[in-house]
Structure 1
């Protein structure tokens, strides 16, 4: 590395120090350079609490607001049961995945920095390519979903104020496009944060915001139930008559996808684990505690928000509890809740996109190691021109696609369905089987395979229901002309 006029030029190994030996880390430590880990990278500082913040930021996303609608499709019996099952599967497979962070010894084994690194280490090149396509396509889709969700929340603030001033019968039609552009501009700015490890503060802010709007939705649900004088809803969900039998089936399947999306974060678990400081204790033990805490907290919130939303509105539960205007008053409290959603989604967007950013940049560094455009860092502003151009382009593309497809519930369901089985279940199960060398047809092997097949069936069914919903919505919504 050389310094020239305030800029640094990095060698290829500086950006991908995977090849550095453990001896180098020891030598640096003995020589007084104690700011490096055993792999030569800058010393990690993450804890169970920062990891929990990252997970909660990823898990308690905008998906929580669709859970009342999801339970309305399934009813009081199936709704909560499905939610608990998804939480159990997510925690269990996340625990399997966390053991794959290091190959070999859980304390000193080779680190797998990303989800795809872990798949490569245990399952080989063919499956790592498949995994990579699925993971990064899903991360790309999440960016689109969060852009749509944030614009809906920003519009909800404007609409609630309009209803407050002019009355509920006023149309108050608003275009979503300006709000998507506003969100895109914010993400262009925050996307210049170089590394996942440096957004810990943004994750903490986002986690606080998620609890804020979830708590407001919870409180408003309780108030509405009291005002109704009882609990609404039925054991089997929305009844035939309110919707056709075919719509009932599609909506029920889509509800599975919505719940799956609400628990979707496994695709970035390894990246979160890679921020945890070096053992002892092992990173896997720390991330398991963080996962248990996060999934338990989010499940409680999900059950309360989803069930109380359904209890408050019954079959008429809106697709987005705080922006579908099940609630109208107090309008200022709704404004606070929706502002909290926007702040949360700004952080959640980064939590999901940073692994994708890192993948593309790592590939570019290795492909063109002598290009100043790619390797040159301006230290005064901590700015890299390639990072600036490529990340800005990424945000612009996701924003434009969001304008083309501004439907929240169906996009959420489709993303959840497409990402749940392969990333949350299949790859963690297969890696665990290889790591533990489980004999084929043994009891544990058979149980894990049955879990995987069962989740595959659920994912396919949810994807079919969500696609049907998207097709139906596109008959109403026009690209770039959608208003609410």
Structure 2
């Protein structure tokens, strides 16, 4: 029986999972969730990241982060069930509790949920920049490329927040498949547009200055700028592959037959492979098009001006994608808080109260006052913070550095060691922990680079006055 539970086979009925839940997810829906989570705003900064690291360093960094993410995600997929009872783990901290326990639970909870909140803030910033870019591209088309055409970002951040308040009322992850599918299509669309424009620019005879080592000290940047920018670029690439934060939550939507860990590994392989293909294409071709002067965001930094309508379509796709991606990352927060409140106050009428409301085209919807108030408050808070700290590349780098080591590397490897009872100081134990140590050093350095860039931006920044 334990083996049946560990492999995820149903034990109650062919229609229900072994915990009596009616899950409907498949590796296809999981792949859509992963692509929605991964091919996000990170792809937009990759040409800039490669410009800092150069042809050699940038390409190697993309491949290494891809392989590490794929490997540790496969390990994490095997940790979706308690090794003793065989029950499902519904969230990342639940998996850590089942396999490691102790202080690891608090460490994981802080790392995961701080990162999830940070990502939602980052996506609010990015979507607003894309909204502003649509308005600016029309201005450039009308008044010429030399025109300033600067616009305030705050209104666009608020618009994004209002949209997310509405979508945040979707009860749970299981009902997000349609939104993730739309968002995944949008991510392909704007990535392909950016790639096509880069290819067209190179084919048109653009001779941007590139090099094996990226930006040149004394020509493009100072020595210190080169150092900090390279470290920040590593953080940006790490952020571009970040989805381990919600892997267990995505896996919890999968049916138990076929075994959910096998379905998740298949989804992970598809998601990471597709992502890497797009990242290398967009990053490398984008660097070839712009060279060492690559903008931080190659669709809103206006490396491209024409055709302006195509730039607008690409930015509209970014906005739609981030609308869905925001939900993928905030749903675990919603579930954790709501479960905790219900356990803390099980008899509270506000917690338990819900009533059916008929919505045109959507049918019956169970409205909860508590869910509406709490989720609305969360979105408003992230919106306000996004208006206070709108630093695109610095925020991406810091989020990537902060989440990569604990959530993508440390916990999956330590849970694998515990689950497999790997003996200390045997060969496998040594190389796994060497990988943990190396990734820790990379994360610390990347975080330092991002903090240095943000600190520099803060010297000239005034809150609530962000301008694109």
Give TM-score scaled by structure 1 length: 0.92
Moved more, 262-271 or 371-380: 371-380
What secondary structure does 1:144 align onto?
A: helix
Q: Residue 204 of structure 2: SS of its match in structure 1? A: helix
**What is the rounded CA distance, in whole Å, between the counterparts of 1:268 and 1:403 in structure 2?**
25
- Cα distance in 2 for partners of 1:423, 1:295 equals 16
Alignment gaps of 5+ in structure 2: 1-7, 358-364
Aligned to 1:5: none
Aligned partner of residue 162 in structure 1, secondary structure: helix
Per the alignment, do residues 309 and 363 of structure 1 end up closer, same or farther by CA in structure 2, a change over 3 Å counting? same
Q: Deviations over 1:411-460 (max 9, x none)?
A: 00000000000000000000000000000001111010000000000000
Tell whether 2:29 aligns with 1:50: yes
The structural deviation recorded for 1:350 is 0.3
User: How big is the shift at 1:379?
Assistant: 1.8
Correspondence for 1:273 among 251, 265, 271: 251
Please give the alpha-carbon distance, in whole angstroms, between the structure 2 residues aligned to 1:189 and 1:48.
28
Corresponding residue for residue 257 of structure 1: 235
The alpha-carbon deviation at position 168 of structure 1 amounts to 1.4
Equivalent residue number for residue 79 of structure 2: 100
Residue 56 of structure 2: aligned partner = 77
SS at the partner of 1:71?
helix
Match of 1:347 among 305, 324, 331: 324
Q: CA deviation at 1:130?
A: 1.0
Give the corresponding residue for 2:19.
Answer: 39
Q: Secondary structure at the match of 2:354?
A: strand
Other-structure match for 2:389: 405
Q: Which runs of 5+ in 1 are unaligned?
A: 1-21
Where does residue 147 of structure 1 map in the other structure?
124
Contact 1:313/1:326 (<8 A) preserved: yes
Aligned to 1:61: 40
Give the direction of change, closer, same or farther, for the CA distance of 1:425–1:69 in structure 2 (3 Å limit): same
Aligned partner of residue 103 in structure 1, secondary structure: coil
How far did residue 230 of structure 1 move? Answer: 4.7
- Structure 2 residue 446 is matched with structure 1 residue 469: no
TM-superposed deviation, 1:229: 4.6
* Matching of residues 76-475 of structure 1 within 5 Å: 76-104=55-83, 109-230=86-207, 232-241=209-218, 242-279=220-257, 281-380=258-357, 381-475=365-459
- How much has 1:476 moved relative to structure 2? 2.5
Quickly say closer, same or farther: Cα 1:348–1:333, change in 2 above 3 A: same
Report what 1:483 is aligned to.
Answer: 467
Q: Is the 8 A contact 1:228 1:312 kept in 2?
A: no
Runs of 4+ in 1 over 3 A off after TM superposition: 229-232
Q: RMSD of aligned C-alpha atoms?
A: 1.4
Q: Write out per-residue CA displacement over residues 220-262 of structure 1, whole angstroms, 9 at most, x where no aligned residue.
A: 0001111235564100000012110000000000000000000
1:256-292 Cα offsets, whole Å, 9 max, x none, are: 000000000001001111111112x211111111111
Cα distance, 1:244–1:342 mapped onto 2, change above 3 Å: same
